[in-house]
Every structure is written in structure tokens, then in C-alpha cells.
Structure 1
Amino acid sequence: MIPKTMKAMVLTGHGDLDKYEWHEDWPTPTPGPMEVLIKVGACGLNNTDVNTRTGWYSKAVDEPTTGGAYSEVDDDDSTWGGAPLTFPRIQGADAVGTVVAVGEGADPAIIGRRVIVAGWLRDWSEPMNRDKAGYFGSECDGGFAEYTKADIRGVAAIDSDLSDAELATFSCSYVTAEGMLDRAQVGEGDTVLIPGASGGVGGALIQLSKLRGARVIAMASAAKHPEVAKLGPDRILPRNPRNLRAELKGERITVVADVVGGEMWPKLIDMLERGGRYTCSGAIAGPIVQFDLRTFYLRDLTFTGSTVNSPQNFFDVVKYIENGQIKPALAATYPLTELREAQQAFIDKHHTGNIVVIP
């Protein structure tokens, strides 16, 4: 029997971690047409949760991702899509759980199946219309609760021996990484340089680049090298080497896959071979960078931003999971009641890999 109310962690506005409120009597969602109701088993954390809470996406903010409140946020462009966020909001994009009910038009055969939720909300008559896209846990309520609902076309039933917590590490990080690599057309013969390799997307970039037959050079702080090594990069460099060119002597970097940005950014671009590609889906070390147009055009470089990716990227990741071609990088689990502590650990990079909360 589905209860009328549920436990949920609710975001009440932009700001610090005190903007989260714990509720034990929040209304359980009701699935609408083509929707399924999911009893959440686990939900991963990602940078979008932090950036949306703090309002970092606003152009009024030019600082690195800090996880704290900013002195100035323009509410009109405070989300990934440059639009206002409505409150209260239940965040949590990386939901995994069991379908317990369906709305009108949704196939009831999915009831009882374990599913992963795709992060992107789409107009399914135009699934690649980026102007109509939204994000789960941002433009609608997400998985930081006992129950959530999602469009049946944006979930995948999955057969896997992995736990709910392990499965909750994949959706945002790995689909983001797959979209980046698609945009950069990474394949055999490429050498991919990955700054921020100890994070969720960085770890996914390592595995998915190797799956495509590329050579991978990861960058991470020395303390995290042992964990990064488990993901199979060909080489691991320091996070901020004194002389990156010397470290890369003999390497031909054809792709930089970046979610870091910041002061290191010009050095990364300088490492690209003529005709190389740069793909980006984040800027945790700072969104404002020094860009020399001469490097860009004289070397025939291609730059791609990667946010709203193809639905196929999600279903490809699910296939890789079921085939055992990629593995989860689960760093730690926390009860949902400790979401603030979990997010602080995520911000402080206390763990290598993904952090997951359990309702």
C-alpha cells in the first residue's frame, strides 16, 4: 500500500546547507499520464545539486564552486538552463528504485521492476529540442525522498547484480561523460587528457574513454592516485603539475575532457595537438578563464560544450552496466537524513568517486 505522505529533504531557497529542511509528512507524488511512481532505493549526489542550491549557475557568480552561499545571485538565471527555480523543491537527479504504480498510458508491466531514472526531462515529441529540456530534481522534484515520479520514457528497467547504491552512481556522471565523448567523437587513436579524474564524471570519463579504445591520461591529487588507478587510466599525473608540458613529453593529446576549468585551463588548451578537440561539462575550479584566440584558430581546434545530451547516451550507459563493461565508483553512502553532511563531504572532496544517499 502506498502511503499518502513520505519522508523528504526539501530545498527551500538558494543559499547554504541550512536551506534544506527535513519533512516526514510530505505529500507522496501521484503519477500523471505516462508517468511511473518509484519507491526510491538510493539517490546519488552530483555537482548540479550543489550548484542549483547555491545559485552558482547565475551569471552574477564568477567564483569557483564552493558549496556555500554567494553574496549575489540573480534568481532569474540561477539554474543550469538560465531560468528561475521554483521552491520548495526536492532535488536528487540520480534516483534508482522500484516502480510501484503507473499513471494513465504507462505500461503496467513495469510495476515491480528496478529502474534508473534518466536525468533529462524531455518533450518526447521533440526529444532533442534543447529549449524544451529540463532536469530531474531541478525543473521537477527528484529523488531525495522516499518516493518520486518520472516519465516512463525517461527511465530504464535494469537487470544487474549491483546494489541500488551502486546503480545510483551512474546516471548523471556517466551519461554526462558519454555525452562529452560523443561530442568530441572520441575513438581509437585518441589520447584523452582528463583533469578532475577523481570525481564522478572524471572517473566515468576514464572508463568510457577506454571502452572506446582511447589512451587515457588522468589528472588528480596524489592522495587519490590509488583509487583513480583502479579505473584503468594509462597514466596518472598530479592535479596541478608545475610543468604540464614536461609531464606530457612524448604524448600526443588529441582530446581534453574537462569539468574543472579555472586557472589551469590555458595550460590544458596548450597541450592539444593541431586539430585537437576540447569538450566541457563543468567548471568547478572557476568559470572565468583566460582564452587566447590565437591558440584556438591557429591550431584548428574544436571546442564543444556538452549539457543536454542524446537519450541514446543514457540507454547506452544502461547497456554497458548490464554487460559489465563499466563499474561503479561508489565512495560512500549516507542516510537521507544526513544529506547536508553528505553534500559537505562531496564539496570538500573527502571521497574519491560518487556519494549516495539512502532514504
Structure 2
Amino acid sequence: MKIPEKMAAALLTAHGGLDTLKYREDVPVPQPKAGEVLINVTAAGVNNTDINTRTAWYSKGVTTATNDGGATGFDSADDADASWSGVPLTFPRIQGADVCGRIVAVGAGVDAGRIGERVIVRSMMRAYADYRPYECWTFGSECDGGFAQFTVAPAAETHAVQCDWRDAELASIPCAYSTAENMLHRAGVGPE
């Protein structure tokens, strides 16, 4: 596949309502850094994490339900703590925590044999700095996600999939899966 220089993407320009999302066709295609892969996105799901990030629902100042600010955002939100991790977001941001696609390029240190793999991205990723079992980095929140033609992700957080499910079906899995995975870890469930 010839990788273009520009791509289409939905950009989140600030926390708030639906008006903070802007469709653009002149967004530079990201380049994979060491340990990353470039994915041609074939499907992306929309879930509560995407809505909550856009509306700033994760802010400690918000004390009502997601649907109370779904269309307009929350006046009580503080942008300084309105992400999943509590760290301010950088705008514009490409959201999209749930992704399915094909790896089309790899960064340094990643096996080139992965090019062509059909993958999903683990949306609740381990912190880059060091291992902290109850902290994560959310794909499409703390870093750009899949509401674009291409996205980059850590190679270790992309998982090859070989099944007869459609890409749209696979793109519905990552965020919901991470909820179940987190509960299994917290409960200490083992192979027994």
C-alpha cells in the first residue's frame, strides 16, 4: 500500500459539545516511532470513553451522568483534569478508542513481518514510563486514536486477529474487553 502524506480525520478541538468535532481531509499521516506500528484504520467504534473525553466528563468537577452533557459538554468541567488519567489533553486530538485495521508500516525495533496483519488495538494501554498496574493510557484520549484513516499505536498493544468477524464487529471489542480484563486483574483471578 502506498501511504499518502495526508488523511481524513475527525479532530476534537476542545472539550465540549458536538461542535468541538471537526472533519478534515488535510491531516498529516502519523509516522510510527520506535516500537510503534502504523495502522490503516478499517473500522472504529464509538463508546462512552470517546463521549466522556469529548465532554470532559472525567473532570472531578462533573458530578452528573454522561448523558447530561452528551450534546453540549459540562460547564462544571475543569480542562486541567478532564481526561481518563487526569492529565490535561493536547488539542486537536484524534479520538477513537476502539480500532480495527491493518498494519501498513512499522517503526524501529518492530518486526517488518507484522506488515499486513489485521489487528485490534488494546484501548487501555499500559503507561509508557513504567509498569503501574492500575494506571493506563487511553487510546484516543491521552494519545491520538482511530477516528482517522491511519493511526499509530505501540506494537505491544496491537493484537493480530484471524477470524471471520467483520472489521466493524472487531472494532466494538477493545474498550468493553478492557473493562472485563481490569476486573479479572483486580480480583486476582488465575488459571485455576
Same fold (TM over 0.5): yes
2:76 to 72, 77, 86: 72
Q: CA deviation at 1:181?
A: 4.0
CA contact (8 A) 2:12 2:91 kept: yes
Which residue is 1:306 aligned to? none
Aligned residue-pair number: 187
- Give CA deviations for 1:231-280 in whole Å, capped at 9, x if unaligned: xxxxxxxxxxxxxxxxxxxxxxxxxxxxxxxxxxxxxxxxxxxxxxxxxx
Give secondary structure in 1 for the equivalent of 2:76.
coil
Please tell me whether Structure 1 or Structure 2 has the larger radius of gyration of its CA atoms: 1
**Of the two structures, which has the highest relative contact order with CA contacts closer than 8 Å and spacing of 6 or more?**
2
Query: Separation in 1 of the partners of 2:92 and 2:23?
Result: 12
Separation in 2, partners of 1:106, 1:186: 31
**Structure 1 position 158, deviation (Å):** 1.2
Partner of 1:145: 148
Which residue of the partner structure matches residue 161 of structure 2? 158
SS of the residue corresponding to residue 24 of structure 1 reads strand
1:135 aligned to 2:148? no
Q: Which residue of 1 aligns with 2:96?
A: 92
How far 1:175 sits from its partner (Å)?
Answer: 2.1
CA–CA separation in structure 1 for the residues paired with 2:5 and 2:35: 21
Q: After superposition, where does 1:308-347 map in structure 2 within 5 Å?
A: none
Could you tell me which residue of structure 2 aligns to residue 114 of structure 1?
118
Cα displacement (A) at 1:28:
0.4
Shift of 1:119: 1.1
The CA deviation at 1:11 is: 0.3
Measured in 1, the distance between the counterparts of 2:111 and 2:128 equals 16
| C-alpha displacement of 1:139 | 1.0
Is contact 2:127–2:137 with CA below 8 Å preserved after alignment? no
Runs of 4+ in 1 over 3 A off after TM superposition: 123-131, 184-187
Cα deviation, residue 182, structure 1: 4.1
Residues 202-232 of structure 1, C-alpha deviations (whole Å, 9 max, x = no match): xxxxxxxxxx9xxxxxxxxxxxxxxxxxxxx
Q: Deviations over 1:143-180 (max 9, x none)?
A: 00000011111111111111100111111102212322
Of 81, 86, 93, the residue aligned with 1:82 is: 86
Q: Secondary structure at the match of 1:172?
A: helix
Q: 1:128 to 1:16 in 2, by over 3 A?
A: same
Larger proportion of helix: 1
The alignment's TM-score, normalised by the length of structure 2, stands at 0.90
1:121 Cα deviation from its structure 2 partner? 3.2
1:6 aligned onto 2:10 = no
Same amino acid, percent of matched pairs: 52
1:16 aligns to what? 17
* Structure 1 alignment gaps of length 5 or more: 188-211, 213-359
1:191 alignment partner in structure 2: none
TM-score by length of 1: 0.50
**Partner of residue 47, structure 1:** 48
Paired with 2:134 and 2:188, the residues of 1 have a C-alpha distance of 20
